[in-house]
């Protein structure tokens, strides 16, 4: 694991993050259905990446990336739902669900953003 230290009341993680940027395929029936019931993508507990099954042992944190409404209403829409996860084989990873944008359905889906080097 990387080193952690306290700076001005914040925990700083010194692990290096390696960008991946590849599609992943969640294993069916492994989603957090409680989140899905309120309209938020539920983190899969298993997914396939490079033909290997990755098992999620813990969701460390989650957040949303929002964007403006494209019709000028001033509303904000969730574009991506992010998850920082602990896995059995690769340690800490960041994955996200991209909701895409109107007219760009190619973007919709799950992606592996990065892996933290130990």
pLDDT tens per residue across span 38-89? 667 788 999 999 999 999 999 999 998 877 666 667 666 678 899 999 999 9
Residue 29's pLDDT band, with cuts at 50, 70 and 90, is: confident
- How would DSSP label each residue in 46-87? EEEETTEEEEEEEEEEEEEEEEE-TTSS--EEEEEEEEEEEE
Higher pLDDT, 18 or 31: 18
Give me the phi and psi of 77, to 5 degrees please.
-125, 140
- How would DSSP label each residue in 16-39? -EEEEEEE-EEPTT-S-HHHHHTT
Is the pLDDT at 17 greater than 70? The verdict is yes
Higher pLDDT, 69 or 10: 69
**DSSP-derived secondary structure letter, 90:** T
Give me the phi and psi of 29, to 5 degrees please.
65, 25
Nearest to 14 by CA among 22, 6, 4, 24: 4
Cα(13)–Cα(102) distance, integer angstroms: 36
Cα–Cα–Cα angle for 54, 66, 56, nearest 5°?
A: 15
Predicted structure pTM score: 0.75
């Amino acid at each position: 694991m990387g080193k952690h230290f306290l700076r001005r009341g914040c925990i700083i993680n010194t692990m290096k993050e390696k960008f991946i940027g590849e599609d992943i395929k969640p294993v069916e029936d492994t989603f957090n259905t409680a989140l899905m019931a309120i309209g938020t993508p539920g983190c899969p507990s298993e997914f396939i990446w490079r033909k290997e099954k990755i098992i999620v042992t813990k969701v460390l944190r989650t957040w949303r990336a929002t964007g403006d409404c494209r019709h000028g209403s001033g509303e904000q829409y969730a574009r991506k739902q992010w998850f920082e996860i602990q896995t059995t084989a690769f340690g800490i990873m960041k994955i996200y669900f991209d909701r895409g944008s109107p007219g760009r359905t190619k973007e919709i889906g799950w992606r592996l953003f990065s892996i933290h080097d130990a």
